[in-house]
Amino acid sequence: MLNNSTLIPLMVVLPLIMAILVNFLHQKDKSVKFISIVSLIVFVFIPVVTLYGVHLFSGHLRTGSFPEVSKILIPEVYMGIVYSYGAVQKILMVVLTILTGFSVLAVINKKMISGVYMAMIFISLAASSAIILADDIFNFFVFTEILVVAQAALVIAVQEAKSFKAAFKYMIFGTISGASILLGIALLLGSYGLLNITDLSHAIQAGGALTPIGLVAVALLTLGWLYESGLFPFHIIKSNIYENARPEISALLQVQSKFVLVAMALILFRVFSGYALLKSVILGFAIFTVVIGSVMALQQVELRKLLSFVAVSQAGLVAVGFGLGTPFGIAAGIFHAINDVLSMAILFFIASFVYDKFKTTKLDELGEGLQVVPLVGFVMLLATLAISGVPPFNSYQSEWRLIQASAQAGVPELGILVILLSVATFVAIIKAFYMIFMKPGSKVEVNKEVRGNLTKAIIVILILACLLIGLFPNMVYDPIYNFVVSLGV
């Protein structure tokens, strides 16, 4: 029974089953804690074990078309929903499950175990893994909607006025973006009669230039993508979500948002691959988000808000990779998504530790943290170097490739902007580092019994992972590059 093909949907089905199970055991914290730890190990184990492959939910291979019934342009059609598991999906799933494991451990360690809270985390994990794996555009849409509700629920769980407002804004614009994605899908279904992404891309390439209906579908799907990844008009909403959730949960949310950005951008590029205007529009919105995000990050006086704007602007940098359109650019973008997710997770875990240790994240009140927690200070310094692309660490490898890809794609100015952005990110976070750890005269009393050994362990592991990828980038980059080239985007 457990051949490779059934393992692929298990990555989505198992978290859902665990979510339902944990949801029922709401009161019994001990069993919730045990079940979530066990299921975490299984979640991390499955993507590592599964081989590349395709899972057909309808059980049939590609079937012959029915000429008299359907006027579909391509000879063969997939019946039913298809999940495909390639190199990029494998790396994204492994990183996603590991970081989910870390944030669940952090939540358990904080004695905040409530069954419903854990259920929401598992549902958002199931939704984001389904989005990464789905090769069917409607299945992708359903799980984006589930992800919006699950993320909003995680922010609502903080029970503060600001978090309710953030969740409400997030859901209001989630409705708009969900409706526009579904409208785009409806128009594609109407004009091509297909929902499978591989068949859809063949049909559109075989069908020649995009009809005006196809153009409207592209515009609507791009708007949905802007929302899912937190680019220009939705960057404030996404940074509010990161800011108002608990810091270890926003470490998880930013992972999901960046991987949904990558998954949906891959879908857009495969379906509308021969369309140059899409690339320049994505490039425009991405660059604008990068600059607005880092300009806003430099203005903040509160640590969590500063980190959320840095996360949004780094997501824009990933979208810049996609905006370049060349396989080298897309591979560099995906590689940067993985690097950036790891280093941002460190900073968010450090923010959660600072929030517990000093009970505030306002930078003016913090200070003299280095005497209290030297290890966390040192790791934050390393993380600042990691995220702003300083050589030994991983973001350097991906930002250097992004600059080279933009030069090859004929837009060297973007390279200059990427360098300027990494300088601005460095200034923003090093300012936060100075004000937390080095600034004399801290107006905050230290919470003695908070030791945070688990958080310290997590951030050390993550910074070592960043260093490892930084020193040996090709073990992660080459499979991504080969996958992107094989997509023929």
Partner 1 sequence: MLDRVYEIFHEKMKDKGQGMGIGSALTSEFLMLSFLLIGTILVLRTANSTILGFGALIILAGVLFTVPTVFKVEKENTDSINLSSFYVALTLALLLIIFLGGI
Partner 2 sequence: MEPFQVGSFLTAGVLIVTGLWALLMMDNILKKIIGANLIGDGVNLVLITIGYRPGGFIPEVMHHFHATATPSSYSHLLEFGEFASNASYSLPFALVLTNIVIGASTLSVMLALAVVLYNKYHTLSVHKMFEGED
What, of partner 1, partner 2, none, does residue 41 touch, CB below 5 to 8 Å by kind?
Answer: none
Give the number of residues in contact with partner 2, rule: CB under 8 A: 35
Residues 6+ apart with CB under 8 A from 66: none
**159: region left, alpha or beta (phi > 0 left; psi from -120 to 50 alpha):** left
Q: What angle do CA 104, 235, 120 make, to 5 degrees?
A: 25
Distance, in Å, from the CA atom of 228 to the CA atom of 258, rounded to the nearest integer, reads 9
- Residue 145 or 356 having the CB closest to partner 2: 145
Per CB under 8 A, 179 contacts partner 1: no
Residues 6+ apart with CB under 8 A from 117: 107, 154, 157
Binding pattern for the stretch 214-253 against partner 1, x by CB under 8 A and - elsewhere: -xx-xxx-xx--x-----xxxxxx--x-------------
Distance, in Å, from the CA atom of 324 to the CA atom of 468, rounded to the nearest integer, reads 27
- Give the DSSP per-residue string, 118-166: HHHHHHHHHHHHHHHHB-BHHHHHHHHHHHHHHHHHHHHTT--HHHHHH
Query: If you ran DSSP here, which 8-state letter would residue 434 be given?
Result: I
The pairing of beta strand 63-64 with beta strand 82-85: unpaired
Per CB under 8 A, 277 contacts partner 1: yes
Per CB under 8 A, 435 contacts partner 1: yes
- Residue 185 or 266 having the CB closest to partner 2: 185
Interface with partner 2 (CB under 8 A), residue from 112, 149, 407, 427:
149
Per CB under 8 A, 431 contacts partner 1: yes
CB-hemisphere CA count at 13 Å for 274?
12
Instruction: For helices 327-358 and 453-471, give the axis angle rounded to 10 degrees.
Output: 160
Interface with partner 2 (CB under 8 A), residue from 6, 75, 165, 457:
165
What, of partner 1, partner 2, none, does residue 45 touch, CB below 5 to 8 Å by kind?
Answer: none
Distance, in Å, from the CA atom of 325 to the CA atom of 409, rounded to the nearest integer, reads 8
The least distance separating partner 1 from the CB of residue 237, rounded to whole angstroms, comes to 6
Per CB under 8 A, 75 contacts partner 2: no
Per CB under 8 A, 296 contacts partner 2: no
Bridge partners of residue 136, in order along the sequence: 196
Per CB under 8 A, 214 contacts partner 2: no
- Residue 282 or 465 having the CB closest to partner 1: 282
Contact residues for partner 2, defined by CB under 8 A:
59-60, 63-64, 66, 68-69, 138, 142, 145-146, 148-149, 152-153, 156, 161, 164-165, 167-168, 171-172, 174-176, 178-179, 182-183, 185-186, 189-190, 195
Contact residues for partner 1, defined by CB under 8 A:
165-166, 169, 172-173, 176, 180, 212, 215-216, 218-220, 222-223, 226, 232-237, 240, 277, 280-281, 287, 291-292, 294-296, 298-299, 301, 364, 410-411, 413-414, 416-417, 420-421, 423-424, 427-428, 431, 434-435
